[in-house]
């Protein structure tokens, strides 16, 4: 896995089997995952077209992409063993357009398909716990999204918070949300 920030975009590259809740999401093999900070004119555009335009401009062909209102200066990267979380978090109010919490998880292991799905739940619970701990009265914003990608290696059957893999995911996501929000 390699990553960089370019043109207001976090780009993570590698060979991934990934699951995305974002625009054009689903489950597929990808070579790039990105999180792009939208421009001021974004609200007047079609989000899917905007995402495709960003990918084309960056030369990305086989990807999952996320859009955020959070500047990349607020990006938090947290790693624990084979789990790396890339988090951009911004909140004002859960029902306002401005504010998004995007989570990209790279797992340098081989979680089962069920564990991959459970990873989204564990990450969401960790995000929610961080928000509540910071005193927010909500568990997310209306545009939050996540991408989970596996690269292969050690096999994990489970990814709930009490499992070995899940506890690493919980740690990385919770800490990432707290770090990103503290940069505001």
User: Residue 17, Cα to own-chain centre: how many angstroms?
Assistant: 15
Mean pLDDT computed over every residue of the chain:
94
pLDDT at 98: 58
Confidence band, pLDDT 50/70/90 cuts, at residue 184: confident
* Domains in the chain: boundaries: 2-182
CB 64 within 8 A of CB 107: no
Select from 153, 79, 165 the least CA-distant residue to 116. Answer: 165
User: Residue 59, Cα to own-chain centre: how many angstroms?
Assistant: 21
Percent of the chain with pLDDT over 90: 85
Higher pLDDT, 174 or 141: 174
pLDDT at 93: 53
Average pLDDT over residues 140-168: 96
Report pLDDT digits (tens) over 62-117. 999 999 989 999 999 999 999 999 999 998 655 555 579 999 999 999 999 999 99
Report pLDDT digits (tens) over 11-27. 999 999 999 999 999 99
pLDDT at 101: 96
């Amino acid at each position: 896995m390699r990553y960089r920030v370019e043109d207001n975009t976090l780009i993570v590259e590698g060979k991934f089997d990934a699951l995305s809740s974002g625009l054009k999401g689903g489950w597929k093999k990808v070579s790039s995952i990105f999180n792009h900070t939208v421009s001021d004119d974004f609200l007047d555009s079609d989000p899917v077209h905007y995402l495709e335009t960003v990918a084309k401009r960056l030369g990305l062909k086989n990807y999952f992409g996320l859009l955020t209102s959070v500047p990349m200066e607020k990006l938090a990267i947290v790693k624990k063993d084979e789990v790396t979380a890339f988090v951009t978090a911004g909140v004002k109010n859960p029902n306002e357009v401005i504010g998004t919490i995007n989570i990209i998880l790279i797992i340098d292991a081989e979680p089962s398909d069920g564990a991959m799905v459970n990873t989204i739940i564990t990450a969401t619970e960790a995000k929610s716990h961080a928000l509540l701990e910071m005193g927010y009265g909500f568990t997310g914003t209306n545009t939050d999204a996540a991408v989970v990608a596996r690269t292969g290696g050690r096999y994990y059957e489970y990814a709930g918070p009490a499992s070995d893999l899940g506890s690493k995911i919980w740690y990385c996501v919770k800490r990432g949300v707290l770090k990103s929000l503290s940069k505001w």
